[in-house]
Amino acid sequence: MRRFACPQCGNRVFFNDHQCLKCATSLGFDHLADQIIATDGLSVCANRSEYKCNWIAAGGTACQACSVEVGPPASDPEVDEFRSAIRRMLRQLHVLQVEYVYTTPNLRFALRRSTDDSKVVIGHEDGLITLDVAEADPVYREETRARLGEPYRTSLGHVRHEAGHWHWQACIATNTETLAKFRATFGDETIDYPDALARHYAVGDDGKWQAEHLSFYAGAHPWEDYAETFAHLLHLTDTLETARAEGLALPAWGTPAQRYQQWIDVTVSLNELSRSMGMSDLYPFAPPPTAINKILFLAGIIPAVNLA
């Protein structure tokens, strides 16, 4: 994320802010300009008070971020966490010049909530991403994370992973040449998906995935491998952008591989910072060379990514 300042007084403000804490100027996020601006005399999103959305919208209608939500639930802390994650991801797509409205399929989100009686299946179908806002409850999420043996599980991670499934369908499957390159890098995605998943869980986590994949789940099927890689690329570009904006990393230089190494250097520092506070590693991954190649392949598909 980049740094934002109050347009009125210059005080530091943040991506989700509605108001400057210093001078009380009403603020909104202009997603086209990628800027926090004063809302005086401008149209704010129709959901500003109800959904706490701080985006600017033409004509006082729902903003770009709200318009990709299907059947939106009322605001509460868990819903708000997912809304923030979706906005952060949409802002990245815009910065990386990845179109998501005028695509086939277009990107949409449905926020649902698991209860004891009915579990929401997180997933993607034809551009529609279903998310489980119960995952924003720390107890629920940590129980799930520990049960599945995952090193990393966050609302933002879910949003980025599922967006990867949409991106595959919208930007890889639609281009014969790109699809051929995808298959050469990730394998044949036409193998039966339910069968592959069943086999994956029958074998269990024997650690073999570490030689080829970013995560255990990435080894389940080429679609999951792609979604994990897409999420990783967004983790990487956001974290590097933030590190550079905060003066913690140098501007991009060198070849894609050298730029990738810059990211690894940043993650080593981030992990040491976390350990200094007695927290677990911020970046609990160690991508093997084949997984790095997949990240670099994807960086080549999205030219605005600063790795290729």
Question: Shortest approach of Zn ion to residue 279 CB, angstroms?
Answer: 27
Largest CA distance in the chain: 60
Distance, CA of 135 to CA of 148 (rounded, Å): 14
Query: Which of residues 230 and 260 has its CB atom nearest to Zn ion in the complex?
Result: 230
Query: Which of residues 227 and 298 has its CB atom nearest to Zn ion in the complex?
Result: 227
Distance, CA of 303 to CA of 161 (rounded, Å): 20
**Distances in Å between the alpha carbon of 148 and those of 144, 201, 217?**
6, 11, 10
Distance, CA of 232 to CA of 298 (rounded, Å): 10
Q: What is the CA angle 293-294-297, rounded to 5?
A: 85
Instruction: Answer whether 298's CB lies under 8 Å from 233's CB.
Output: yes
Question: Shortest approach of Zn ion to residue 11 CB, angstroms?
Answer: 4
| Binding positions for Zn ion, rule: CB under 5 A | 6, 8-9, 11, 20, 22-23, 25, 45, 47, 53, 55, 63, 66, 224, 227
Question: Shortest approach of Zn ion to residue 57 CB, angstroms?
Answer: 6
Query: Which of residues 37 and 252 has its CB atom nearest to Zn ion in the complex?
Result: 37
Query: Which of residues 121 and 277 has its CB atom nearest to Zn ion in the complex?
Result: 121
HSE on the CB side for 292, CA within 13 Å?
Answer: 15
Question: Shortest approach of Zn ion to residue 272 CB, angstroms?
Answer: 31
Question: Shortest approach of Zn ion to residue 249 CB, angstroms?
Answer: 28
Identity of the amino acid at 152? Y
The tokens describing 134, both together, are 């119960």
Question: Shortest approach of Zn ion to residue 14 CB, angstroms?
Answer: 12
Query: Which of residues 224 and 238 has its CB atom nearest to Zn ion in the complex?
Result: 224
Residue 258 DSSP label: H
Residue 4 CA to chain centroid, in angstroms? 20
Query: Which of residues 63 and 236 has its CB atom nearest to Zn ion in the complex?
Result: 63
